[in-house]
Amino acid sequence: MRFYTQSHTHYCGIDLHARSMYLCILDAQGEVLLHRNFNAEPAAFLQAVAPYREDLVVAVECIFTWYWLADLCAEEGIAFVLGHALCMKAIHGGKAKNDRIDAHKIAVLLRGGMLPQAYVYPKAMRATRDLLRRRNHLMRKRAELLAHIQNTASQYNLPPLGARVDRKAERATIPAHFPDAVVRRSVQLDLGLIAHYDGLLGKLEQELALMAKAHDAFAYHLLRSVPGVGRILTLVLLYEIEDVGRFPRVQEFLSYARLVKCQKGSAGKVYGHSGKKIGNVHLKWAFSEAAVLFLRANPEAQRYLERLANKHGKGKALSILAAHLGRAVYVMLKPRVPFDQGKFLARAA
């Protein structure tokens, strides 16, 4: 966890909401200079901080409304810090909690060098990343529809469908598999939604690939060099990592991608692990998928996984392989060299 430790003349903590924001500004000695509620508008913010613009730093908790404030501070040349929501225990653990108290606590943590930082994702790629996340969300909804058709057949103890629901050419015969008219109508509704998703998502994936190549075509093709990493996983890795240079060490990258466990210990004793939800869930998913797809039609990788499974068990072996792939992606993107399976398996062994 990184903390913001730079010294400033003025420190501004903001408890930000969709329509309002509570500002608390402290001086270098910790005296409260401003403590008021404002409308969440650029003009109101700039007017409030105008008397304290000299060497000002602004901090806000990482919630869904931080984009406009970060962009405004960047345009105005104001230092901006994004607080890590899961690690700001001082805000969420108090006996009393309200906007006024939270804004003051953020300012105090900022001034004391104890504000845990989250990454301020650059504006240039942020909207595309969010669009990609939206695509993945909709694709999961499509998968739920596919599963619902299969589960409906099992629910009524019907024989196997005899067709692949995910294949458009085979869907026409599926409704007739269900004799009950009402159940058949439910399945037809699912199939109609799936067809609609297919039309939207296919076009969207092509657009996202073109955007990615415009942002960083070389990194896009580097990631495609990993066996099993197709277009979607490449897009997820590219946009969720954004700049691998923000991770000084590979250990920090693996921790951010939730590919390693963090121990809890005291007085030389280990009490287990924690922090499973701290990190990027999208990278965790991408590397877990990549580990499974890496094994397809890859006898060398399958033999390597078998050795890991004999030692650790199959589930843990896949997790280890995902972590090794994460390390390989970091090593690839730093010097920008393509994936070499021979070196990868030799080092992993």
Q: What is the pLDDT of residues 206-250, one digit of tens each?
A: 999 999 999 999 999 999 999 999 999 999 999 999 999 999 999
Phi then psi for residue 66, to 5 deg, are -80, -15
Cα–Cα distance between 171 and 191 in angstroms, integer?
Answer: 8
- 254: amino acid identity, one letter: L
Sequence-separated (6 or more) residues with CB below 8 Å from residue 282: 133, 136, 236, 240
In the chain, DSSP finds a helix count (H) and a strand count (E) of 12, 9
Q: Which residue bears the tokens 């580097």?
A: 222
Residues 247, 327, single domain; the answer is yes
Whether residues 331 and 243 fall in one domain? yes
Handedness of CA 205, 209, 212, 214 (dihedral sign): negative
Among 65, 95, 116, identify where a domain stops.
116
Q: pTM score > 0.85 for this model? A: yes
pLDDT > 80? residue 91: no
The token pair at 31 is: 């005296």
Q: State whether 138 and 55 are in the same domain.
A: no
Asked if residues 40 and 16 have their Cβ atoms less than 8 Å apart, the reply is yes
Write out pLDDT tens, residues 178-199: 999 999 999 999 999 999 999 9
Q: Look at residue 87 in the predicted model and tell me its pLDDT.
A: 85
Average pLDDT of the segment spanning 62-84: 96
Cα 320 from Cα 37, distance rounded (Å) = 49
Chain position carrying tokens 């006898």: 299
Residues 73, 165, single domain; the answer is no
Beta bridge partners of 10: 27, 56
Coil, helix or strand at residue 108: helix
One domain for residues 326 and 308: yes
Residues with Cβ within 8 Å of 291's Cβ and at least 6 positions away in sequence, in order, are 318, 319, 321, 322, 325
Q: Which of 101, 127, 118 is nearest to 32 (CA)?
A: 101
Q: Decide if 228 is inside a domain.
A: no
Torsion of CA 31, 37, 41, 47, to 10 degrees: -40
CA distances from 311 to 304, 305, 307 (A): 11, 10, 7
**pLDDT score recorded for residue 348:** 77
Task: Please check whether residues 130 and 185 belong to one and the same domain.
Answer: yes
**Does 226 reside within a domain?**
no
Distance CA 32, CA 107 (A): 10
Judge whether 322 lies within some domain: yes
Q: Does some domain include residue 177?
A: yes
**How many distinct structural domains can be found in the chain?**
3
Residue 90 has a pLDDT of 73
When pLDDT is cut at 50, 70 and 90, the band that residue 8 belongs to is very high
Return the C-alpha torsion angle 214, 219, 225, 230, nearest 10. Answer: -50
Find tokens 């804004």 and name the residue.
Answer: 103
157: containing domain: 124-216
Same domain, 53 and 130: no
Q: Which of 159, 152, 155 is nearest to 188 (CA)?
A: 152
Residue 262: what pLDDT? Answer: 81
- β-partners of residue 26 are 11, 32
pLDDT higher than 80, residue 147:
yes
My answer on whether 63 and 110 are in the same domain is: yes
Work out the percent of the chain whose per-residue pLDDT is above 90.
88
Q: Is residue 140 part of a domain?
A: yes
User: Could you report the per-residue pLDDT of 246-301, keeping only the tens digit for each?
Assistant: 999 999 999 999 998 887 788 888 877 777 778 999 999 999 999 999 999 999 99
Distance, CA of 214 to CA of 239 (rounded, Å)? 12
Residue 246 lies in a domain: yes
Q: What is the CATH number of the domain that holds 25?
A: 3.30.420.40
227, part of any domain: no
CB atoms within 10 A of CB 161: 18
- The residue behind tokens 């996983």 is 233
Same domain, yes or no: 136 and 196: yes
Single out the residue of 84, 81, 91, 71 nearest to residue 118, CA to CA: 84
